[in-house]
Amino acid sequence: MDTTRRTLLRGMAAAPLVAAAGGLLVPSTAEAVELPASRFTLNRRNAPSFAPRYPYDGVIGRLRPYLGEPLSLSTVAARADKKADRVTRWPRSSSHPSQPTRPDVEPERRVPGHAFRWDSADFTGKKWRPQGITQDYDADGRSPAKTLLVSWYDNTGNQGARLSVINWSTSGEITYRHVLLVEPYSQRDDQGELRDNIAAADLHAGGIAWYGHHLYVADSMYRASRPTFPGIRVFDLRQLFKVTKGGGIGRQPDGRTFHAHGYEYVLPQTHAYDWSGRAPKLVISQVSVDRTASGPGLLASEYDGSGSPRLVRWPFTAAGALRTGAEWAHAVPRGTNTQGAVKVGSTYYLTTSHSSRRPGELRRWKQNWAAGPRHRSSLNIGVEDLTYDGSGSGALWTLGEYANDEGGSDPRAPFSRYVYAVRP
């Protein structure tokens, strides 16, 4: 995740947990502190946070005559237009004149055959950076990973966030297509006529989770001009639409065609959950599906460079919606720079990053969080989100963001932008 954006948000994130903040205890360096779950609440929002606020579903319905019938995720996946390169041998360590040799992902952690790199334009491009990852097992708790979803954010401009729909298999071609995430809205023009439109979703998309037919996207982009503090954006994966390929974003002068910054497919936002808790504001930078409790829930964490990020679980309802009251919350010891978090059985796995010049880590805690991380494994530079495939492979999928756009001419950075799986 971009350091500058994180720095801007850090001031809005939780301060150290002191007694003044609701009587909480300061966590030690060894043990996590349980926090009052009642203080970690969300508020569901069904319309844009910027004025005027017209319900998303109404806008999407009125746009249907122009956008056509919604498409399924499988339909868009079948229309993949890019090919990824399967990685059969992990790249060797490379050296830098002023730096030590860069460690690779530890060999005993890698899952053979479960790695690929993007096509050359996406592998080396500086505009978009990969962030979040999720897959089929998250969605239904049964299916093996055959469709991977990866989020990216625009590092250089204002095109928001996009989603890669990836056809994954252990043999054969690995193909994918990008889809732009958009926010539908309505505004009145100079003549007072209501005009429905789409805009690029203002998102960093640092973590994503696919549950049922919904895609949950971490929203960490605070804007002082907006009345709400961000939380989680939600997109309906049954409502993908095809638009006219062309530059710019939104309704075109002919009034009938829509562009999406050159992309042919868009995924509109359907609702959101804004932070409404009484605890110090939680900057949600990562989300994952947790199926280890009595019922599935959404596990969310914050990046937090201070050393004690908070991990919160919101349960899903029987109908698949997200409950707005948290089930539990903890301040995690020694979890600095958390990028991804999942729970497997009674064990939590967290990825942590250490800039564009140092390898990231996979850290492991048992459920009681005692004595800090029990094990640390080296991962790639720029490691990001995590997702767990519990269908049989038992793999932890992760990915890297950098493509030599950080660290100047440092030759190690291109080794970062892989998608791969490791053993828990």
Tell me the DSSP string of 36-49.
Answer: -GGG-BEEEE-S-S
Structural domain count, the chain: 1
Backbone angles phi, psi at 323, to 5 degrees: -70, 145
Residue 303 has pLDDT above 80, yes or no: yes
Mean pLDDT of 330-339: 83
Predicted pLDDT of residue 371: 57
If you average pLDDT over every residue of the chain, what do you get? 85
Residue 76 has pLDDT above 80, yes or no: yes
Q: Which domain holds residue 372?
A: 3-422
With a CB cutoff of 8 Å and minimum separation 6, the contacts of 357 are 99, 381, 407, 410, 412
Q: How many CA atoms lie within 13 A of 363 on its CB side?
A: 24
**Alpha-carbon distances of 241 from 72, 206, 264, 299, rounded to whole Å:** 9, 23, 8, 29
Q: How far apart are CA 255 and CA 367, in angstroms?
A: 55
Predicted pLDDT of residue 23: 31
Chain centroid to CA 207: 2
Q: How many CB atoms lie within 10 A of CB 283?
A: 28
Residue 192 pLDDT class (50, 70, 90 cuts): confident
Element housing 419 (H / E) = strand 418-422
Could you tell me if 365 and 78 are in contact, meaning their C-beta atoms sit under 8 angstroms apart? no
CB burial of residue 341 (10 Å; 0-12, 13-18, 19+): buried
Strands (E), 136-204: 147-154, 161-167, 174-188, 194-200
Residue 407 has pLDDT above 60, yes or no: no
- The region of weakest confidence among 28-42, 81-95, 269-283 is 81-95
- The region of weakest confidence among 148-152, 232-236, 261-265, 291-295 is 291-295
Q: How far apart are CA 137 and CA 141, in angstroms?
A: 5
Residues 89-105 pLDDT 10s: 766 555 444 444 455 67
Q: Residue 194 in 3-state DSSP?
A: strand
Percent of the chain beyond pLDDT 90?
A: 62
Residue 110 has pLDDT above 90, yes or no: no
Predicted pLDDT of residue 191: 82
Predicted pLDDT of residue 402: 87
Q: Which residue has the higher pLDDT, 383 or 103?
A: 383
Predicted pLDDT of residue 7: 38
Predicted pLDDT of residue 15: 34
Could you tell me if 323 and 315 are in contact, meaning their C-beta atoms sit under 8 angstroms apart? yes
With a CB cutoff of 8 Å and minimum separation 6, the contacts of 110 are 90, 420, 421, 422, 423
Strands (E), 316-416: 328-331, 338-344, 347-354, 358-366, 375-381, 383-389, 395-400
Predicted pLDDT of residue 63: 96
Residues 10-56 pLDDT 10s: 334 333 333 223 333 333 445 678 999 999 999 999 999 887 889 99
Predicted pLDDT of residue 29: 46
Predicted pLDDT of residue 370: 62
Residue 398 has pLDDT above 90, yes or no: yes
Residue 339 pLDDT class (50, 70, 90 cuts): very high
Q: Which residue has the higher pLDDT, 304 or 20?
A: 304
Chain centroid to CA 318: 24
Token representation of residue 111: 């899952």
Residue 372 pLDDT class (50, 70, 90 cuts): low
Q: How far apart are CA 199 and CA 216, in angstroms?
A: 18
Percent of the chain beyond pLDDT 70?
A: 84
Strands (E), 297-337: 297-301, 310-315, 328-331
